[in-house]
Amino acid sequence: MKKPLLLYTLLLLAGPSLLKAQDADSGYLDAVIINTDREAAKLKETVVSMSIIKPYLVQNRLSRNAAEVLAQAPGVSVTDGQINIRNGSGWSYGVGSRVTVTYDDIPLLNGDDGAVPFDYLPIENLSSVEIIKSAGSVLYGSSALNGVINLRSAPLQNGEYFQASLTAGQYQIPDLYQLRWSEKLPSFLGSQGYYSTRMGSVTTKDKLRQHGLALMWNSLSDDGFRLNDHNRRARMGFQYEYIPKVAPLKFSLAGQAQTSQRGSFLLWESYDKAYTTLDSGFLTSYNTRFNLDPRLEYTSRSGWNHKFINRLLSLQYESDNGDSLYELSTHTRQWYGEYKVRKRFFGEHMVFSAGAVMQLAGTDSKLYEGVRSSANRGIYSQINYRTGPWIAELGGRYEYYRLNQAEYQRPVFRAGVNRSLGEATFLRASAGQGFRLPSMAEMFTRTNFSSIGVFPNTDLVPEYGWNAELGLKQGLANSNQSLRGYADLSLFTMTLIDMMEFTFGQWDVPLPPTFGAGFRSQNVAPVRLNGAELELAGERRGAQGTWRLLGGYTYTDGRCLYPDSVFAIDKPGRKLTYANTRTDSSDVLKYRSRHMVRFDLQYQTKTWMLGGSVRYQSRFENYDLAFTQFPMNQIIPSPNDPNPVPFLRSSDIPDGYARYNQPWTFDVRASYQAGRNFKLQVQVSNLSNNLFMGRPCDLRPPRTVQAQVLYRLEKKPAAVKGERPLVDE
């Protein structure tokens, strides 16, 4: 069977072996993931693009939070705390997400601002990461417009397992010495650990002991690579699981608590002092979080599987900007509850799943001008049918949302097919709708930063859209199965209607300190993104060691469909359009990188490991015009422009983009296994010390060096010896 030429890129792993298409039971294609129906499935059976960050990459790349774990996934980027999958999101400071992030199937977005709490995600117990690169609103609800990221914890196995690590690192001097803001090099120190055990009688069906318990912790003290951008946090958590000896029942309870203190960096002083906060100011936040997640799963004799999932979350946020008033403080409580039912019909041919979801959130804050509350209710169902080489999915959801007095409701649908074409070749096609509801922060925030205001907009409506994809996945192996992997090629398109973006204008009366000028979230003109993606993954096992590869290239072309359409009128009556609020004359979308490359290669033996990563992200071609004109040119004027007239000055941000345009990032890592219990690891991020500006006024980190000492201890009963994989598997 003739294979596409691009698949032979994997020859670098194959050596002299002869590549051939492997049977459909590939180890890679048979990898078990959480599919679009939120249940376990094989990678080859998906009807949409999915990527997997396997355990070896999670554990061998030194990461301080979940955002750094995601940085190496093909087609994924994190811009100042906001996740982009295939450029679907762009950048909007601190609020909203078009990507839903779940941890063990429970959504983790904040109830007030809709952001992802990366520092709160327990990476010390992270097993793998699965990325759905398609609208997932049918089963995941709001904010799955651009895709879904599932983080999975390590399962509780029989026996005892303990692991603890200590990590220390330092930010190096940038090549431009004037960027240095401290006489000493900023550093960080962190520790994390995990302990699990199972006790009691062995269950009949699952062959696990009845009671499972896990304890975990994580701490970090980070000076930050920028002035006043420190991070101090401590978190503890637990997991408990009970499986009766005979009954097909499982109960679990998980929870964690975290306290943190963090500095906030929004704008630089100038491109010559890009690591110095504007006016050397500071905004320190003090956060306390707590969550409790009870869940129950039951399977009846007739085959119906029932799941009850809950989350109780409390978030206390206080801030200090040198003023005696904590005007940015918030206290948010939220509850998430879901009931899901699933059953197979006609043998293994059809799977029916349905569910109901409710989420309540409330906050009291001067930032949001008082008490705000939201209620989110949804019902959904999906059918998965397979016959011969065909797999088909069809699903729908109806959502109701209330935010204070505003009410919204919308149905969405999705469909997809997967066709096996022969020797591990799978063709897929899908189309789906999605939506994102406005957050409390987008509708009600009123504050200011360095004389730039942020204003509320109670007229916001939900954004919605649809995407479609055509993809081909090809599994590969050589004759003795020492090489296994796949190549995946996809073409995709996405359309967004009523997309929410923060837009600069004069939104209030001209009174100090902001004179009514600043940013406000607006529903803008429709946009469309078209693109293509190639992903490669594989491994080659030899007598001495194992090569592993994960990489991909993503191309996107995002355009505003009606750049001259008026989407808002500000206080003085100025008509705002995409055309008169952008820096570039084209209709290219703001804050999008047209080209993205992710590549990671690792070689590992029983005692040592060596790996390297490459990341490339082309600079933004378009961003907000407000960053280059008044009042931003008054706040951050160009050092090369001596004009004393504020309205006629030029901003230094375009010069910064020209100066800091080195978008290639190289990381290297190595480890040594000192006996069975100790592991030593070093990592250098941004090896070449490149300087690259992400969003405006945000220079990315210089070269960072870190080292880790890891200790692990594992004790298994003789009856289940070898059941749990080692940490590097």
Query: What is the CB neighbour count within 10 angstroms for residue 201?
Result: 11
CATH number of the domain enclosing 609 = 2.40.170.20
In a domain, 729, yes or no: no
| Paired tokens of 341 | 């039912």
Give me the domain span that covers residue 216. Answer: 5-720
**Who's near 542: CB < 8 A, 6+ residues apart?**
482
pLDDT, residue 28, reads 66
CA–CA gap between residue 411 and residue 406 (Å, rounded): 18
- Report which residue type is found at 347: G
Q: List the one residue out of 53, 86, 83, 50 whose CA is nearest residue 67.
A: 83
Q: What single DSSP character describes residue 180?
A: -
pLDDT, residue 297, reads 94
pTM above 0.95, yes or no: no
pLDDT, residue 177, reads 83
> For the chain, which ranges sit under pLDDT 50?
1-26, 324-326, 720-729
In a domain, 696, yes or no: yes
pLDDT in tens, 292-333: 999 999 999 889 999 999 999 999 988 876 554 446 788 999
| Paired tokens of 632 | 């931003």
In a domain, 613, yes or no: yes
pLDDT, residue 566, reads 95
**Who's near 32: CB < 8 A, 6+ residues apart?**
40, 41, 42
Contact in structure between 291 and 329 (CB atoms under 8 Å): no
What is the number of domains present in the chain? 1
CA–CA gap between residue 428 and residue 633 (Å, rounded): 50
DSSP letters for 77-125: EEETTEEEETTSS---TTS--SEEEEETTEE---TTT----GGGS-GGG
Q: What single DSSP character describes residue 699?
A: B
Report how far apart, in Å, the C-alpha atoms of 512 and of each of 267, 321, 450, 509 are: 20, 18, 12, 9
On the 0-12 / 13-18 / 19+ scale of CB atoms within 10 A, 117 is buried
| Paired tokens of 691 | 């300087």
241: part of which helix (H) or strand (E)? Answer: strand 231-242
In a domain, 726, yes or no: no
pLDDT, residue 40, reads 62
Of the chain, the end-to-end C-alpha distance in Å amounts to 33
The CB-side HSE value for 676 (13 A sphere, CA atoms) comes to 5
pLDDT, residue 321, reads 64
Q: List the one residue out of 233, 375, 241, 256 whose CA is nearest residue 313.
A: 256
In a domain, 727, yes or no: no
In a domain, 119, yes or no: yes
CA–CA gap between residue 109 and residue 143 (Å, rounded): 9
In a domain, 725, yes or no: no
CA-CA-CA-CA torsion for 345, 347, 349, 352, nearest 10 degrees?
A: 20
